[in-house]
Structure 1
Amino acid sequence: MLATLTLLLGLPLALATEPQSCVPLVPITFNSSTIPQLLGQWFYIAGASRYPPHLAELRAVTFEAFSFSPGSHEDELNITETIRMNETCVVRNFSKIQVFQENSTLVHVDDNGVASTARVIQSDKDLLILNHINIDSPNLSLSARTPNVSKEHLEEFKAHLRCLGFTEQEVFHASTEHACPLPRGENNADPQLG
């Protein structure tokens, strides 16, 4: 009886100290209905990485807005990026993203020929959580249809980061305080942000 009582009294304490359960990062499956949902304007909100080249970029980027448009092939998206790195605003509109439906990945090749492969993680339709998978270090970024996200959406993202072993100090946030003027003609965005 004493052993049972000890077990019952100790159980709540043991449960309270159990680590938070982590929800796996589940990628979306690309098909003819999910790919068009990527089209349009997105704002980079936050990211974390332990991969040195990505970490350097995360430290330098204080604002980023980008838009996806259909490419010349069904498995290709054009991307236009407006980025403030340190104190300079840069617009790049010559990038392409290759869409691989068979393994639901996006591949972006930068100006230096370096490919970045990512999966879009299932979440709210107005969020874009990217998990970069071609590197040995954890790497996760959050973008949204608007420059701000709800506290609940930010907490969902932070929970994923904690499960990957990131601390709050390792997360880099963008800010509309540092917004660059967006190219004219962008839908869903105010060209005079910032």
Structure 2
Amino acid sequence: MLASLALLVGLPLALAAEHPSCAPLVPVTFDNTTIPGLLGKWVYITGGSTYPPHVEEMKVVKYAAFSFFPGSHEDELNVTESMRVNETCVVRNTSKIQIFWHNSTLMHVDDQVVSTAELIQSDKDLLILKHFNANYLGLSLSARTPNVSKEHLEEFNAHLRCLGFTEEEVFFTSEKDACPLPGEKTGEDDEEQQLG
């Protein structure tokens, strides 16, 4: 089953050379304010991938949202995910993110697949992650709300182009396909949700 966190942290892409005119992606160096700033709800907006299995997964995810909560120790975050896969809402409360302070990376393990990401410097209400796994790279954008400014979206798209992504390798979600996170009220029948 696809998890929105796989979209967030596990979307490896083929490594592409950056164009000389492209601004470099600057990773965040973790400090005592970084992780608290990640806590709370995020809505997955878009991401790019050339890795075929993840491209297929991204094609069927119509909407994804997730929340980060403190884990049992400072090196861990708990994650609640809610997504619409085709026409079905799926909720998962079992994901964890490992925090590696020494090299400022995040790691997610899902079904024996390990995915690592760097947090990229951006607006505090945006979550841009550069995903890497073996020789593959990816880039994803999430935000505190489903609406991202035109300027922020254009800047993110420029980063995707600089990494060599084509339109066919970039996928967007839509707020019209939203599924609630656990505890949120909606007009939809709760029987549609499945726990993962």
Scaled to the shorter chain, the TM-score interval is: 0.7 to 0.9
SS at match of 2:80: strand
Higher relative contact order (Cα pairs below 8 Å, separated by 6+ residues): 2
Q: Is the 8 A contact 1:89 1:180 kept in 2?
A: yes
TM-score, normalised with respect to structure 1 = 0.83
Q: Is the 8 A contact 1:127 1:144 kept in 2?
A: yes
The Cα shift of 1:184 comes to 0.9
- d(CA) in 2 for partners of 1:193, 1:171: 30
Residue matched to 1:103: 103
Identity between Structure 1 and Structure 2 (%)? 67
Q: Which amino acid aligns with 1:148?
A: N
Residue 142 to residue 193, structure 1, CA distance change in 2 (3 Å)? farther
Residue matched to 1:176: 175
Q: Is the 8 A contact 2:81 2:181 kept in 1?
A: no
Residue matched to 2:121: 122
Residue matched to 2:186: 192
- d(CA) in 2 for partners of 1:35, 1:181: 24
Q: Which amino acid aligns with 1:52?
A: P
RMSD: 1.6
Q: Which runs of 5+ in 1 are unaligned?
A: 1-18, 186-190
Residue matched to 2:3: none
Q: Is the 8 A contact 1:182 1:193 kept in 2?
A: no
TM-score, normalised with respect to structure 2 = 0.82
- d(CA) in 1 for partners of 2:46, 2:128: 10
SS at match of 1:138: strand
SS at match of 2:136: coil
Residue matched to 1:7: none
Larger mean CA deviation between 36-45 and 81-90 belongs to: 81-90
Residue matched to 1:93: 93
The Cα shift of 1:193 comes to 8.3
Residue matched to 1:136: 135
